[in-house]
Amino acid sequence: MDNATARVIGHRYHYRENYACCHGLFAQLKARGLDPLAITIDGNTSVIRALKAVWPEITVQRCMAHIQRQGLAWLRRYPKLEVSRQLRKILLGIADIRDEQGRQAFINDFIDWEKQYGGSVKVLPSKDKVYCDLQRARSLIVHALPDMFHYLEERCIAATTNKLEGYFSRLKELYRRHRGLSKKHRQNYFAWYIHLKNGD
């Protein structure tokens, strides 16, 4: 989807969001002349690899909403561990980052947390569900951090995929009224929906 116009510029019906599916779609779009400067996506590594294979120079912006939502889910709403409560507090501030000052505050807070807790979190017994999820939340931020704030440097880059997620939610809601469609008819339904919404 083009963030500026909310127009779907490419789609493919598939059961799984994997490398082969995404690479095929991206290669098809490139063959049609698409050469994007940036893309905002969740953290699916297969999609990122497919993007970089087709457009090596593309800027990948990690969806801030996905980072916050997934991190908070792993930390729980009312964590018992102080280390989890502190990391949750940092994650809660993501939605309010609007400028360089906010970006730096987030980074500084996480660096301070990492210095105090990072080493001990890494060696926690991962068989424990609470500890494992805490490690996942930490790892999520560590790996996402290099690609979290491109939207502050280029205002045309979306900070989240919320616009696309909203579009897809409405599409799924309407599709559920037509349960029982064959695979071919499902594909046609989605194609016509997108075609008509785009006003083509």
Residues 167-171, mean pLDDT to the nearest whole number: 93
Task: Give the pLDDT confidence score for residue 177 in this predicted structure.
Answer: 86
pLDDT band at 79 (very low <50, low <70, confident <90, very high): very high
* Reported pTM: 0.91
> Can you state the angle between helices 129-144 and 64-75, rounded to 10 degrees?
160
Give the pLDDT of residue 131: 97
Work out the average pLDDT over 70-86.
97
Look at residue 100 in the predicted model and tell me its pLDDT: 97
Q: Which of 98, 186, 110, 177 is nearest to 141 (CA)?
A: 110
Per-residue pLDDT of 110-151, as tens digits, reads 999 999 999 999 999 999 999 999 999 999 999 999 999 999
Q: What would the mean pLDDT of 90-99 be, rounded to a whole number?
A: 96
Mean pLDDT of 78-96: 96
